[in-house]
Structure 1
Amino acid sequence: MRTSAVAATATATAALLLPLTPSAAHAVGNPAITKVVVNKGKNIVVGPTTTTEFSAQITATHTAGVATAWVQLWHGASDESADRWLTAPPQCTTSGQATTCTMNFQVTADTRDMTNVVSNAQAGTWHIYAYAHGKDGAYTRVDNYATTKVQRASKLTANAAPEPVKKGKNITVTGTLSRANWNTHKWAGYAGQKAKLQFRPKNSSTYTTLKTLTTSSTGKLSTTVKATADGYYRYTFTGTSTTPAATAPGDYINVT
């Protein structure tokens, strides 16, 4: 296997509380890996320049006791040829025959930092490698215990104008959907994505979808609607496998 200096990113995917069956988890007499949790079960989201920090926990049991256990995250066609995220040695605590070990990860797109650096091609599904080593020398390794998502951070804006506006007149709602470009370390427009325009009346807590738009080649959104009442306009994006959902703050319009 190889360790990549250009490897991946972070802040959050599915609840990785996925116990294995005894036959899949370990051979008879070897440690049993009973639980793995990565980033509290959330997707790992990484921005264009900042460092994302998250932890992973692995729990294992063994009749002879567990000396240590750890997880690594890897991306690629197979575990043996993968890009891999590494951490400092795990910190472990034991209760009875069960030992839980915690590892703290740091991931960034900044190539000046040679620890777990990500590139755009690595956004999406990552695999979780799990390992437990018994005090008697027996060990268990699971190359693909579960999967998690590593995503390019996203943001969305909305602006409604003119304001104030006469009732029945048109207003234009513009916005931009952007996501982190890990190769250039900047925000970039996210093209060809569906976003919903929503409206919430002034005294309501509920948004209603007015229409669905597709972002331009630069991630731009623009449409016109008739002003009917005081309230808030926003855009919302449901996300993709490589990019998390985003919702713009509501922009208030005063209708006279």
Structure 2
Amino acid sequence: MEAQDYWDTISEKFAEISASLKYIPIPTQNEIDAYKISQNYPSLFTSVLREKRKAGHPLFPPAAKFFRGENRKDSVGIMEAISRAKGDLPDNDALAFIWKEHGREMSIIKDAIDKRIASAEFAWAWGELCRGWSVYHFIVATQDEMERQFETGMKGTKSDKTLQKYWYAHFMRSRGVLKRTKIDRSSDAKDLAYVCEMIANGQFLVPRNPEIYTREWFEVMIKPAKDPKEGKILLKTYTDISNEEIARMTANPEIVKGMLPPLNDEEFPLVIPPLRVRSGSS
């Protein structure tokens, strides 16, 4: 092959790869959370991703949940990284992610094409890009199966605690925990456990959406402390949520605090037992 033909072929292939990588609609974790919550509580929550799926839009789930075999590591690295970075990038633009995270390789390729000069660096960079492109084609080829598994995982189930985690995250953020370290949450966790226990015992009423936020909804968040004098404590499912996750979840535009139970125990009405009238009194 003549040098001119070689670089023309490389240039065309680079343009083809760049164009194909532009449209990978991978949902973010916030979008997945909203989808799952809307499946469990359709009367209160909606999901943009769920509506897109109803309209027949394609979906590329984050690869970590579905990839097996020798290529799993590469697939997870590329697709999960795109998913995580998507919040800072143009919608569905995987190419922008590749330029952001692998700008050196992309720049080496583009520079080599412009100058039409081959080098060991170019060979390495071209190999990295082609590896990513092969993963992309594998994902496209298995899209139907991945979508099926994703939909199965999103089916509503009473055991899912995603919405409780969002309430915990908003409660903690309202207490200013993002300005503190994780260990400093202990008193706030006790306060939230107290609210859950009071509701579970029927001593607090839930002021909004009680048909969704039932006693059982709060009761599953707590367990007896080792010391009976301490009452109930929150499960580690919630207390292990990192500050980074709290920041992500509380920024989710589809699950806002106004749709959740109150974040202050004073907003839960106290159940006042009826006065007992002594027999024989007038």
TM-score, normalization: structure 2? 0.24
Which structure has more strand as a fraction of its residues? 1
The two structures have a TM-score, normalised by structure 1, of: 0.25
> Which structure: greater helix fraction?
2
Q: Which structure would you say has the larger Rg?
A: 2
